[in-house]
Amino acid sequence: MKIVLVSRIDDADALRYTGDLARDLEALGHDVAFEEGTARHLGKEGVPFEEITGDLVVVVGGDGSVLLTVHQMRKQVPVLGVNWGEVGFLADLEPDEARAFFAANKTTFPVERRLRVSLSVDGRWLGDALNEAVIVTDRPAKMLRFGVYVDGTPAERFRADGLLISTPTGSTAYAMSAGGPIVDPLIEGFLLVPLAPYMLSSRPHIISTGRNLEITLETEKPAHLVIDGQSTFELEREATITVKKADEPALFVSTGKPFFEKVNHKLRNL
């Protein structure tokens, strides 16, 4: 099995662990490579994110490291996260569990397909989000005006500090802290969560990916769209955001841990 390792590069212990894990994987007969930035800090040759291929990518880090990896890969490869962060909803394994997992799964492992959201503004594709895209003003305490259209029908108009367009996978991230529901990650739907809406009647929506979803923005203030915390785009004062199911989902290795058991465990330990 060809495995590429990605590590947090701002943590010496994470890098040391990644090097040790590479030796364990090689001892099990796997072909191991390192992502370019990780390799540089370990004094080895590496492969850029955009050129990663193979059977598996192991990310030693927090959710931000996993999001960066998925965001940068040109072709999606199954990802397994080893939690080296505070919460790690996208990382199924703790550091002391990884070696036993690979010893028990030497040749195959189950893979889950996770919905990503494809975002275009006025016909221009901006990118795909695994967790969420957020539309916010760059001036604190200034509100934006949004319109939500489903299959061409106006569904809601509201003013708010911003709007989250989340996937079910991202429901345990920013969307949860903004008052959105926790959603089974295998559900295929878009989660819209207003940020501090002016009217209490403006509530989160879950909309099927089979619908045509458009969001209009009308504002006199500068606004930005941020995808997974990785890419930021400036929006015009009047813009139409088209939300679709991305052609290529993210792929995650399933370790057999039930989703809601994992959520309960992680939320108890926050």
Give the active site residues. 63
Whether the CB-CB separation of 166 and 175 falls below 8 Å is answered with yes
Whether the CB-CB separation of 25 and 54 falls below 8 Å is answered with no
β-strand partners of 80: 58
* Rounded distance between C-alpha atoms, residue 96 and residue 176, angstroms: 28
Q: How many residues are present in the chain?
A: 270
- 25 Rama sector, left if φ>0, alpha if ψ -120 to 50, beta otherwise: alpha
Q: Tokens in use for 48?
A: 């850029």
* Cα→Cα distances 36→20, 24, 33, 83, 201, Å: 17, 20, 9, 20, 48
* Rounded distance between C-alpha atoms, residue 161 and residue 24, angstroms: 48
HEC states along 180-191?
A: CCCCCCCCCEEE
* Rounded distance between C-alpha atoms, residue 34 and residue 31, angstroms: 11
